[in-house]
Structure 1
Amino acid sequence: MKPDAITFKQLRALRAVTKVGSLAGAARGFGQTTSTVHSQIKALETALGLAVFDRRAGGEALKLTREGAEMLRAAHRIDSNLSQAVATIQAYNTGKNGRITLAVVSTGKYFGPRLVRMLADIHPEIDIRLKVANRSDTVMGIERSEFDLVIMGRPPRTELGNARPVGPHPHGIIVPPDHPLATHPGYDPDMLLSNTFIMREPGSGTRSVAERFLERFGQGVPRRMIEMDSNETIKQAVMAGLGIAMLSQHTVADEIKTGRLVLLQGVGLPVMRHWYLVEPNGPLASEVARTAAESIIDFNGSFLP
């Protein structure tokens, strides 16, 4: 194995071939010949002493080997680190001390802009970029070193040592104001499960909370379920009478206040979780990232709805 022989061009070719599934497709994307891309992949495999693609699949799309998948992850991390370095240098040139990317999961869009404003007020010397993504994309971004700081409700196991709580995160069941469950406190589990539940997509932190709550009632599976991929769409669906849902109470604060939605009352509600600040780079974080992180902790959740 000769790691010193690995080049950016080889890693770029690896990413391109993985994305389109063929050498020819990657070559078209680069405006190069297939043989040129093949040479880059072959040089990478020679440097590693291992194959990065499984070529036994015949005419099917090329698939990464285990070693190739590891190199792809490294390629993404390298690309992210270079991009962040360039962005930080550009921030220096505009009079800033540096730039950070703060990521929040989808539910965080209800407080992310407020948090960025609070940070900007006390740290005008830091250029802060906000990224909003679903949990799966956020976790992938952490793995690729795309973010300096992340706020999420359920940190990945690999980041538990780099996570600190920053505030409460209550979840509740929302119903339209004319729904039978909205007229009195408490609920009958059978009646609850007889409703159509509108759920987030698999892998969503909000869906995980809802599923664990429903597991309390035997099978815990509603008779009817509709899947939607955004909190806003779910809120509109509940108000339209298509079903009921469990969402972060931070996403429905305005609708509850104006009476367009009602929070179900009863045992086990709200389900109390926490927001966490994840510092993916841990002790290797930049000085400006550490500064922003400590300020977020000091805010003590005051940026939450």
Structure 2
Amino acid sequence: MPRLDAITLKQLRTLDAVASQGSLTAAAAKIGQTIPAIHSQIKNLEKSVGVPILVRPLVAGQMELTVEGIEVLRAAKRIEGILSQAADQLRARATGQIGQITISVVSTSKYFAPNLVRTLSKSEPEIGVSLRVGNRESVISDLDEGRCELAIMGRPPRVPVVHSVPLGPHPHGVILPPDHPFAKEDGFDPALLVKETFISREEGSGTRVLMQRFFDRFEEGPVARIVEMESNETIKQAVRAGLGIALLSLHTVHEEVAQGRLALLRGPGLPIVRHWYLVWSAHVERSIAAKRISDSIEALSGTFLPGAVSG
């Protein structure tokens, strides 16, 4: 019978160290404990859980978590995230504020998120707001593990379960060098478009998925060549240099298009309009500070988003 009330933070932190380092020896070095102490913490944790949480390798190699161990580690990360948020709240109160919150945002939103934080600092001066910027996967992880109270992203995740409210439109389009032949046309031939080199983010990224869905509408087959690059900024520079074309959030290219440094493909189905969402965990009650910031963001009605871009 599990005795979860006997689990300690020290045991959970030891498990996290072993999981991340792959061995008792490396974990001991990371957290400044002896190997016997690490072993004892893991054994006591297994006793409390009632099942093995680590698989010992038969030959030299990394130790692996059992299915049960993965669940315990997920709980440990959530506890650490919630404690971190609590520490932020206490520090904020010690300096006279009513609270401090962290908002995790996907990398595309970095084009407007800093201005949003500046606006919030004026409307809610008693609340400190910090940003965490990452890809979709890391933002979902932040929500799941309690490292943020709020998040701004595109399509809300199915797991973890969240509450969400739409903030405003998020248009996407195909960007071109200004001298590209397609830049002079009011439409496009899909058979010619798929022959272009497309510069894209990695598999699984939001814009990559959207690009694939865009081409699924046509019957011309897949794109002839895709070149992966790690950031929107790099992609923009590559398109300007004539290395290919790309489907990107139009919020990321608002200034370049307005100044004529990039052009937009025009035609049926473009731009592709998605939405931004404000998201928070359904399993953790929002703090007073988080509720006030949520209300303030909603009240802005998307006015903090970059202006609509048209070709």
TM-score (norm 1): 0.97
Structure 1 vs Structure 2 CA RMSD:
1.3
1:164/1:57 CA distance change after superposition, 3 Å? farther
Tell me the equivalent position of 2:264.
263
Match of 2:309 in 1: none
Aligned identity (percent) is 51
Contact conserved, 1:50 with 1:67, CA < 8 A, in 2? yes
1:154 — aligned with what?
155
Amino acid at match of 2:242: G
Map residues 148-187 of structure 1 onto 2, 5 A cutoff. 148-158=149-159, 162-187=163-188
Residues 180/29 of structure 1: CA separation in 2 closer, same or farther (3 Å cut): same
Task: Tell me by how many angstroms 1:32 deviates.
Answer: 2.1
The corresponding residue for 1:21 is 22
CA separation in 1, counterparts of 2:243 and 2:272? 23
Give, in whole Å, the separation in 2 of the partners of 1:256 and 1:214: 23
Q: Which residue in 1 is equivalent to 2:141?
A: 140
Match in the other structure for 2:218: 217
The code of the aligned residue for 2:173 comes to G
How big is the shift at 1:71?
A: 0.6
Q: Is 1:244 aligned to 2:245, yes or no?
A: yes
* Distance across 1 between alignment mates of 2:266 and 2:198: 17
1:174 Cα offset (Å):
0.2
Task: Please give the alpha-carbon distance, in whole angstroms, between the structure 2 residues aligned to 1:213 and 1:240.
Answer: 24
Aligned to 1:118: 119
- Gap regions ≥5 residues in structure 2: 307-311
Q: Equivalent residue for 2:82? A: 81
Confirm or deny: 8 A CA contact 1:159 1:278 kept in the other structure. Answer: no
Written as runs of structure 1 = structure 2, the 5 A alignment for 1:35-74 is: 35-74=36-75
Give, as a single letter, the amino acid of the residue that structure 2 aligns with 1:157. Answer: R
The CA deviation at 1:124 is 0.3
C-alpha distance in 1 between matches for 2:105 and 2:52? 37
Kindly provide the amino acid, as one letter, of the partner of residue 34 in structure 2: T
CA–CA distance in structure 2, aligned partners of residues 240 and 121 of structure 1: 40
Q: How does 1:197-212 map to 2 (within 5 A)?
A: 197-212=198-213
In structure 1, what is the Cα distance between the partners aligned to 2:160 and 2:33?
40
* SS of residue in 2 equivalent to 1:178: coil
Tell me how far 1:147 sits from its aligned partner.
Answer: 0.8
Query: Do structure 1's residue 300 and structure 2's residue 265 form an aligned pair?
Result: no
Residue 160 of structure 1: how far off its partner (Å): 6.2
After superposition, what is the alpha-carbon deviation per residue over 1:140-192, rounded to whole angstroms, capped at 9, x for unaligned? 11111111110101211135650110000000000001111111110000110
Residues in 2 aligned to 1:174 and 1:221: alpha-carbon distance in whole angstroms = 18
Identify the structure with the greater helix proportion. Answer: 1
State the number of aligned residues.
305
Give the letter aligned to residue 208 of structure 1. Answer: V
Provide the rounded CA distance (Å) in 1 between the counterparts of 2:35 and 2:57.
19
| Whole-angstrom CA distance in 2 between matches of 1:189 and 1:304 | 31
Q: Which moved more, 1:280-289 or 1:17-26?
A: 280-289
Moved more, 159-168 or 288-297: 159-168
Equivalent residue number for residue 276 of structure 2: 275
Is the CA contact 1:162–1:282 (under 8 Å) kept in the aligned structure 2? no
Which residue identity is paired with 1:114? N
Tell me the CA shift for residue 135 of structure 1: 0.7
Contiguous gaps of at least 5 residues in structure 1? none
* 3-state SS of 1:157 partner: coil
**Residues 166 and 201 from structure 1, CA distance in 2 versus in 1: closer, same or farther, beyond 3 angstroms?**
same
**Which stretch shows the higher mean deviation, 170-179 or 213-222?**
213-222
The residue identity in structure 1 corresponding to 2:144 is: E
- The one-letter amino acid paired with 2:190 is P
Q: Is the 8 A contact 1:135 1:203 kept in 2?
A: no
Determine the structure 2 residue equivalent to 1:191: 192
Contact kept in structure 1, 2:143 and 2:280, CA below 8 Å: no
Q: Distance in 1 between matches of 2:144 and 2:58?
A: 28
Q: TM-score, normalised by structure 2?
A: 0.95
C-alpha distance in 2 between matches for 1:217 and 1:83: 48
Give the CA deviation at 1:283: 6.8
Which digits, 9 at most, give the CA deviation of each residue in 1:4-32, with x for residues without a partner? 11011110110000001001110111222
Alignment partners' CA distance in 2, 1:168 and 1:15: 39
Query: Partners in 2 of 1:55 and 1:283 — Cα distance?
Result: 35
